[in-house]
Amino acid sequence: MKYPAFILLLLTLTSCEQAKPVEIETPVEEEYESGVVYDALVKNVISGDFNGDGKADEIIETLISTVNNKSIDALPQLEYDSLVAIIYKRQPVLSLRSKDKDIPELIVTKNTSFGLFYAKNEGDLDNDGADEISVVIDWADWSQVNSCVVYSLKKNKWIVYAKFDVREWQVSQNSNFNGFILKNKKGIYEVSTFDSEINEVVKPLKEVLVTASNNL
């Protein structure tokens, strides 16, 4: 069978496009002053099957300045106030990225943060074959008041699956801390959250699920 030339061209272009590897745009690292001691900002790498295709995925935390589009990977050894000032100056975007083209970038926040305070693959909380991921942001602030947000990838889009109040000391002051979301003896998922009136409280996960309308 003979195809007209333009169809052959179209077929060639289409197959070229499919074969093209998907590359994540990697921002350039910040340049750091010589003679100044820097501490690395440790980036979380979270493994799991987040799109439910049966293959393991890796999601990598990124913190990129919107001022110069460079990755913030270290901070100088200065007082905390000065570090907060640097972050305010850099105006970073915190996101989670994967090399898998089926997993879109998850923008965690465009507000001032040092990255993630906490991240965990929570397993498949809603039994749809794909893992959920929980994160707590390391805000550039002076407060222990925070929230844990659970994300789920649905139809190629990240949605907020659950959200609840936490205090950072729940993690930092507990050497045995093994997660905000745990199964109880009956196999029901429960969250360790924080209520301003009754302090730390354990409640069923279903009570902190975010409804679809809140995701619009």
- Name the one range near Ca ion by CB under 5 A: 19-27, 56-64, 82-90, 136-144: 56-64
Which lies closer to Ca ion via its Cβ, residue 64 or residue 103? 103
- Name the one range near Ca ion by CB under 5 A: 59-67, 70-78, 116-124, 140-148: 116-124
Q: Which 118-147 residues touch Ca ion, going by CB under 5 A?
A: 124, 126, 128, 130
Size of the site for Ca ion (CB under 5 A): 9
Please, what is the minimum distance in Å from the beta carbon of residue 122 to Ca ion? 9
Which lies closer to Ca ion via its Cβ, residue 29 or residue 128? 128
Please enumerate in sequence order all residues whose Cβ is within 8 A of that of 103, keeping only pairs 6 or more positions apart, or say none.
50, 51, 57, 59, 153
Cα separation, 47 vs 133, in Å, equals: 10
Which lies closer to Ca ion via its Cβ, residue 49 or residue 165? 49
- Name the one range near Ca ion by CB under 5 A: 75-83, 117-125, 172-180, 208-216: 117-125
Cα separation, 137 vs 148, in Å, equals: 8
- C-beta separation of 50 from 103 below 8 A: yes
Cα separation, 141 vs 192, in Å, equals: 23
Q: Which 34-53 residues touch Ca ion, going by CB under 5 A?
A: 49, 51, 53
Which lies closer to Ca ion via its Cβ, residue 73 or residue 105? 105
57 binds Ca ion (CB under 5 A): yes
Which lies closer to Ca ion via its Cβ, residue 35 or residue 54? 54
Which lies closer to Ca ion via its Cβ, residue 27 or residue 52? 52
Binding residues for Ca ion (CB under 5 A): 49, 51, 53, 55, 57, 124, 126, 128, 130
